[in-house]
Amino acid sequence: MTTGIHEDVLPQLEDITVNPDRPLIITDADEVLFAFMQGMELFLEENDLFFDWASFALHGNIRKKSDQSPLASEKIPSLLDRFFAEYAHRLPAVEGAAEHLKKLSETAQIVVLSNVPPKYASLRKEGLVKSGMDFPLIANIGAKGHVVNYLTKNLKKPSFFIDDIPTNHGSVRKHAQHVHRLHYIADARLAKLLGPAEHSTARLDSWPELHDHIQDIIDKE
Ligand SMILES: [Mg+2]
C-alpha cells in the first residue's frame, strides 16, 4: 500500500474517468445518501438489540434488549457485515439527495466514495440505482484522504467531499487540503450528538443547504 490506497481500491479508481475541466463532488453514502441509522434500527430490532443514542458511535451504543448491556466491541464487525448483506440494497434514500445531486450533475461530476465492504459493492450499487443516484461507486477500504487526492489532483475546477464521519474529514484535510470538506449527518437524532467536524470547511444540515453551498462556490470560480 505504498500509495496510501488499498490494493483493492486502486483498480476501481483506474476505471473512473475524471474530467479535469469539470467540478467534482465526492460523496459518502451512509448517513449522506442513505438513511443508515433508520435501517440499522430495524436491523437491531430484528436481532433483539437497540441503539441508545448516547454518542456518535456504534461502539458502546448497541445494546441487548434482554439486559441493556452493550454488545461487545469484537462482535460489531460481524454484525455490520450482516447488516450490509441484508440492507445495503434497500436502505431508504435521504430526503432530497437524489433530486439535488441530479441538479448538481448538470455542472459537476459526481462519485460515490463509500466504505461499504467491497463484497457488498454490487448491493450498494443496486441501492443507488433504485434511488435515482446511479453515479460511479468506489467501495473504499480505510482512510479516504489519499483516494480523494488521487481523484482531484489534476482538477482545474473546485472539488467537494461530503461525509458524516469527522476522521474522514481529517484524512482528506491531511492529504487533499484543496478540497472543500462538507460535514453533513443526515439523521437529525445523530446530528444532534456531534458538532461540526474539526477538519471540515463547513457544516451543513440538509441537501438543499449542501446544494446551495456547492453551487455558490462553483458559480464564484
Ligand atoms: Mg457515512
CA of 186 to the centre of ligand 1 (A): 9
What's the chain's length in residues? 221
- What integer pLDDT is reported at residue 221 of this predicted model? 84
Give the N- to C-terminal CA distance of the chain in Å, as an integer: 35
CA of 113 to the centre of ligand 1 (A): 9
CA of 160 to the centre of ligand 1 (A): 15
Residue 204 near residue 184 (C-beta atoms within 8 A): yes
Phi, psi dihedrals of residue 159, rounded to the nearest 5° = -130, 155
CA of 93 to the centre of ligand 1 (A): 13
Which residues does the chain have with pLDDT short of 70?
1-2
Residue 59 near residue 76 (C-beta atoms within 8 A): yes
CA of 155 to the centre of ligand 1 (A): 24
Q: In the chain, where are the structural domains located? A: 10-35+92-220, 36-87
CA of 166 to the centre of ligand 1 (A): 10
CA of 156 to the centre of ligand 1 (A): 27
CA of 27 to the centre of ligand 1 (A): 9
d(CA 160, CA 148): 9
CA of 35 to the centre of ligand 1 (A): 10
- What integer pLDDT is reported at residue 2 of this predicted model? 53
27 Cβ contact partners less than 8 Å away, ≥ 6 residues apart: 33, 101, 110, 111, 112, 113, 161, 162, 163
Residue 52 near residue 95 (C-beta atoms within 8 A): no
- What integer pLDDT is reported at residue 151 of this predicted model? 97
CATH number for the region 10-35+92-220 comes to 3.40.50.1000
Protein residues placing their CB within 5 Å of the ion ligand 1? 28, 30-31, 164
CA of 65 to the centre of ligand 1 (A): 26
CA of 50 to the centre of ligand 1 (A): 20
